[in-house]
Structure 1
Amino acid sequence: MIKKIAFSIIWLGFISYAFLLAPPNNANTSELIEKLINFELEGINPLIVAIFNLMGVLPLIYAPLLIIDGNGQKLPAWIFTFISFGVGAFAILPYLAFREPDFSQEKTNWFIKILDFRLINLLLVILFVVIFTSGIIEGDWNEFVVQWQNSRFIHVMSLDFCLLILLFPALLLDDLGRRQINHSLFFKTIIWIPLIGTFLYLCLRPSLPEKMSSE
């Protein structure tokens, strides 16, 4: 119950901040979004381009976690998964708030096995690292700070990006038990390391057993 309340407060607080307290959008916001969608990137800070692209990669990384988690939930995880591709943490947070903390026993099916395929996680991690590194190296940080302070779109997108990174352990904790490795000190430790620990876990964790246990 405490977790449900906490995630609900974070969700409502994020919505309130985004619409009431974040900087207002400037006149160029619509044009910027259109250029990013159409890959017309000339003159746009590479750091902003990287964050925008990673906001599409992160939901791809979340998707297998959410759908596998939803296999033992009454809540339809696929709906929140689909919406997260458009609004990021605004869709992940309500799922975390309303899901049950324990999962029922469910057999793995062919779709779950495909989502659990380690190579998928590895490719997504590599894609994230490549885009993230290029943004860090090529981006103009001084310009980004100015835009972050003056553009609601960039401000909220950046906070959404950080929040998605920090929310991973909320799903990985149950994933430990689902894979019967909840007694592993190594896995129990690395899931709390932002980003790096999550990626290590996704690439090194064992496959799901034929029948998931709620132990």
Structure 2
Amino acid sequence: MNRKIALWLLWAGFIIYLLFFAPPLHLEETLTLLKNIFTLNWVDINPVILSLFSLIGMWLFIYSGVLFFDGRMQWIPFWPFAIASVASGTLGLIPYLALRESNQQFSGRKDAFLQVLDSRFFSVTVSLSTLGLIGYAFLGDWIGFWQQFQSDRFMNGMSLAFCLFCLLFPTVLGDDMARRGWNNPQMFWITALVPLFGPLVYLCLRPAILENVAQQTPTSFGSSRA
């Protein structure tokens, strides 16, 4: 219960911060930036900003590799929150983390989508893409990024969302390790304490989830599918 309360307070606090305490929102500049990103007009975009925006997407892939399995055994599926997270980042993710119950089981078969999320190809692709984005960020103007962080709400909120993704991953890590039968405290703490790189290493090294067709609803939360 304390975990749920803390997550709801974090969610509400982040919203209050963005609305009342963050730097001003420069709507026209933000819309122009988003337009340039989505139309691949990247020439005039600071590589730090483009990399940060893309790394938010990498975090969504990382969480998807864990939470679509978790959502299979929850009373509420993960996919609506995944869609919400695409548009709002952690604001769409935190409600799922607060509503879910701790669950260390998986039953049924993995469909094609879950097979992809559980594959080494997925883990390695996400990891290499993330490393490429980090390398690209070092080519950018960090002083200019810091100035925008201090003066622009969108940049400020996106940066804090990235930090929240790092902070929240340990809340679902233990259950995912248990679902996979991986009792490795050292890996848990490495993953939990090393931001971004720890989860990437975890995705690449974790054992696959075993299918269990004999038991369809091992928890009392219901059999909703992600």
Q: TM-score, normalised by structure 1?
A: 0.91
Note if 1:203 corresponds to 2:204: yes
What is the CA–CA distance in structure 2 between the aligned matches of 1:139 and 1:103, rounded to whole Å? Answer: 42
Q: Number of aligned pairs?
A: 212
Note if 1:16 corresponds to 2:13: no
Q: Cα deviations across residues 24-71 of structure 1 (Å, max 9, x unaligned)?
A: 112522222221221222222110111112222221222221111101
The one of 115, 118, 121 equivalent to 2:117 is 115
Q: SS where residue 122 of structure 2 aligns?
A: helix
Q: SS where residue 138 of structure 1 aligns?
A: coil
The residue identity in structure 2 corresponding to 1:165 is: C
Match in the other structure for 2:146: 145
Match in the other structure for 1:130: 132
Match in the other structure for 1:163: 164
Q: SS where residue 156 of structure 1 aligns?
A: helix
Q: TM-score, normalised by structure 2?
A: 0.87
Q: Cα deviations across residues 171-191 of structure 1 (Å, max 9, x unaligned)?
A: 11100110111x323322222
Q: RMSD of the alignment, in Å?
A: 1.8
Assess if the C-alpha contact under 8 Å between 1:187 and 1:201 holds in 2.
Answer: yes
What is the CA–CA distance in structure 2 between the aligned matches of 1:110 and 1:194, rounded to whole Å? Answer: 30
How far apart are residue 82 of structure 1 and its match? 1.5
Assess if the C-alpha contact under 8 Å between 1:179 and 1:209 holds in 2.
Answer: yes
Assess if the C-alpha contact under 8 Å between 2:70 and 2:103 holds in 1.
Answer: no
What is the CA–CA distance in structure 2 between the aligned matches of 1:66 and 1:31, rounded to whole Å? Answer: 33
Displacement over 6 Å in runs of 4+: none
What is the CA–CA distance in structure 1 between the aligned matches of 2:37 and 2:106, rounded to whole Å? Answer: 43
How far apart are residue 15 of structure 1 and its match? 1.0
Q: SS where residue 169 of structure 2 aligns?
A: helix
Assess if the C-alpha contact under 8 Å between 1:73 and 1:104 holds in 2.
Answer: no
What is the CA–CA distance in structure 2 between the aligned matches of 1:58 and 1:185, rounded to whole Å? Answer: 23
Note if 1:6 corresponds to 2:6: yes
Match in the other structure for 1:184: 184
Match in the other structure for 2:74: 73
Q: SS where residue 174 of structure 1 aligns?
A: helix
What is the CA–CA distance in structure 2 between the aligned matches of 1:58 and 1:195, rounded to whole Å? Answer: 8
Match in the other structure for 2:223: none
Match in the other structure for 2:224: none
Unaligned regions of 5+ residues in structure 2, if any?
220-226
Which structure exhibits the higher relative contact order, with contacts defined as CA atoms closer than 8 Å and separated by 6 or more residues?
A: 2
Q: Cα deviations across residues 100-131 of structure 1 (Å, max 9, x unaligned)?
A: 11355522323333321121011011101101
